[in-house]
Amino acid sequence: MASPPPAPAPVFPEAIAQRLRSTRLVAGFSTETPEDAVATAKAILAGGIDALEVTLRTADAVAGIRAIAEELPDVLLGVGTILTPEQVRRVKDAGAHFGVSPGLSMDVIEAAAECGLPYAPGIATPSELTQAVNAGSRLVKLFPAANLGGVPYLKSIAAPFASLGVEYFPFGGVNRDNMQDYLAQPEVIAVGGTWLAPKAMIQNQQWDQITEAVKESVDALGNQ
Ligand SMILES: O=C(O)C(=O)C[C@H](O)[C@H](O)COP(=O)(O)O
């Protein structure tokens, strides 16, 4: 019997990696309605960040992703909290440009490769990182970055994998005070988090405050 064809290799296109490298900050948020999703995305854009990570933590998340893709086609639309292969297909169909997960799943990596969604799995340990690189990933989400030990942990885990050219997207506990420490590491492509568009501001529809919070971090980075 013929053996099954090999699974397609994961791809994270250089054009998207390059956009992450130049924006450096990715605003993560969860949203309850498509209207709030679009308003949050607009507020973030107005503050000077054009890369998002919309989590799949809420019931209407996919509708929100679809609404952002339709209304703001130029924004770099990332999706987080991808836990299942089915979610990969749904967010790709909704217009996501890339996906990330809190953890590592070969089924999710394969689904992303099959449907052509640029994808970075989540890793927290050297063993998970080994599995990710052996599945072909060269960009991983380090999660939850701060609780794992922050920059010292990132340096320790990255050292043995340096020759493979692995890049990292730290998320979880990153904030305005520590973002520059992560971004100073050459293997960090960008950082992300919810400090840029805090949940309470979204719930209270404080769009101007979100724009201000984003501006503060963008300015702090510019003044480095
Ligand atoms: O659901 C996922 O896939 C996530 O990992 C979500 C976000 O990346 C973290 O919630 C960000 O963490 P904070 O910036 O500390 O709030």
State the pLDDT confidence band at 186, using cuts at 50, 70 and 90.
Answer: very high
Q: Which atom of ligand 1 is nearest to the CA of 175?
A: 14
The pLDDT of residue 195 is 97
For 157-167, how does the pLDDT look when each residue is reduced to its tens digit (9 = 90+)? 999 999 999 99
Q: Which atom of ligand 1 is nearest to the CA of 195?
A: 14
Identify the sign of the CA torsion 93, 98, 101, 105: positive
- Is residue 25 assigned to a domain? yes
- Is residue 6 assigned to a domain? no
Residue of minimum CA distance from atom 3 in ligand 1: 81
- Residues, the chain, total? 224
For 81-114, how does the pLDDT look when each residue is reduced to its tens digit (9 = 90+)? 999 999 999 999 999 999 999 999 999 999 999 9
Q: Does residue 172 have its Cβ closer than 6 Å to ligand 1?
A: yes
- Is residue 7 assigned to a domain? no
State yes or no: is 14 an active-site residue.
Answer: no
Q: Does residue 143 have its Cβ closer than 6 Å to ligand 1?
A: yes
Q: What ipTM was estimated for this complex?
A: 0.93
- Is residue 55 assigned to a domain? yes
Q: Which atom of ligand 1 is nearest to the CA of 102?
A: 3
Which phi and psi angles does 82 have, rounded to 5°? -80, 115
Q: How far apart are CA 53 and CA 70, in angstroms?
A: 16
For 22-41, how does the pLDDT look when each residue is reduced to its tens digit (9 = 90+)? 999 999 999 999 999 999 99
Q: What's the total number of domains in the chain?
A: 1
The pLDDT of residue 6 is 65
- Is residue 4 assigned to a domain? no
78 neighbors 57 (Cβ within 8 angstroms)? no
Residue 86: which CATH number?
A: 3.20.20.70
- Is residue 83 assigned to a domain? yes
Domain span at residue 61? Answer: 14-219
pTM of the model: 0.94
144 neighbors 171 (Cβ within 8 angstroms)? yes
Question: Residue 51 C-alpha to ligand 1 middle, in angstroms?
Answer: 15
State yes or no: is 141 an active-site residue.
Answer: yes
Q: Give the Cα-Cα-Cα angle 220, 221, 223 (nearest 5 degrees).
A: 65
- Is residue 122 assigned to a domain? yes
Q: How far apart are CA 69 and CA 38, in angstroms?
A: 9
- Is residue 84 assigned to a domain? yes
> Nearest-CA neighbor of 66 among 100, 91, 97?
91
Q: Does residue 173 have its Cβ closer than 6 Å to ligand 1?
A: yes
